[in-house]
Structure 1
Amino acid sequence: MSELHRISVDPEICSGRPTIRGLRVRVKDILDLLAAGASHEEILEDYPYLEALDIVAVLEFAARQADHTILRVA
């Protein structure tokens, strides 16, 4: 089941960057933490208002963003 409904984009929150449930925690922030080696448990300890499925949503969002068609102009 998709968890993308947890990702929101609102021009009034974080300048329209994708956030988790409008909480002003950007998708990029969580991706940066994961890339730096933080575990899901560490992230949830640092952000107690997040839920485990929020991290799943971030990863799903990133995967979908990375899988788009690239058009080349000749």
Structure 2
Amino acid sequence: MNYQELITIEPGKRSGKPCIRGIRITVYDILEYFTGGMTEEEILEDFSELTPEDIKACLAFAADREKKLFVASL
């Protein structure tokens, strides 16, 4: 997935954390909802401005960042 079109980083928004489409919901927020036990359907119900593609972009972004951290540690 090409998350670059959906995940934005703006210095003045949410302290520069990666956000979804420039809105104030961060990748971290979505990951926290998942680890808290929410399903994708529940997240989408609670945040009507989000799409399934937004959720996939968050997961792809997090996976890519994890991969980069692992490679950098070698």
- TM-score, normalised on structure 2? 0.88
Equivalent residue number for residue 32 of structure 2 = 32
Larger Rg belongs to? 1
Q: Distance in 1 between matches of 2:9 and 2:48?
A: 21
C-alpha deviation, 1:17, in angstroms: 0.5
> Which amino acid in the other structure matches residue 67 of structure 2?
D
Q: Distance in 2 between matches of 1:3 and 1:11?
A: 19
Secondary structure of the structure 1 residue equivalent to 2:72: coil
Percent of paired sites with the same residue: 40
- After TM superposition, list the pairs within 5 Å mapping 1:57-68 onto structure 2: 57-68=57-68
C-alpha deviation, 1:4, in angstroms: 3.1
Number of residue pairs aligned between Structure 1 and Structure 2: 72
Question: Please, which runs of 5 or more residues in structure 2 have no aligned partner?
Answer: none
Question: Please, which runs of 5 or more residues in structure 1 have no aligned partner?
Answer: none
C-alpha deviation, 1:49, in angstroms: 0.5
| Structure with greater helix share of residues | 2
> Which amino acid in the other structure matches residue 32 of structure 2?
D
- TM-score, normalised on structure 1? 0.88
